[in-house]
Structure 1
């Protein structure tokens, strides 16, 4: 048995907190472990966005990245990866999801 950490990885988190310990045989990767790390609506949307989706990205500084393609999202670093096949073929744009104010998903 070990003390519960801030991000308890026990199956029954409420029971774990009440007892103040984690039973190692019950530990699994907690699905919400990184939710608190990468905060915001856009970060939540990027976690669920299908790869190869064309989007417009509105950055907090007012710049807009138009017609970029969503490549991936790293939950550990909050980095969103996009490609720009029209303007800069073969390049990768890396943006902190917390610096994005909005995304527009292009209609098919």
Structure 2
């Protein structure tokens, strides 16, 4: 998966592995990923920022469903393309959260 020349830390690999398992049309929050891998939501964001070319970073949203604002605010468009349900610019987490019992 990694195309970059610098190595991936074990923490980053764990984050990327979780993100890679999020199915098309579904999302997870930064905090839910952090809970799974033993880090903070901010550290998950750092991994996705550094390795965005390697994964579907747009499937990770804030706890309130707000899509990431990086990459020229392209996350919303990518989520719409995947038919992720949005309400007032936020992901409808009751319908799109993965896994269904996640935070």
Structure 1-normalised TM-score?
Answer: 0.30
Higher helix share: 2
Structure 2-normalised TM-score?
Answer: 0.31
Higher relative contact order (CA 8 A, sep 6+): 2
Higher strand share: 1
Larger Rg: 1
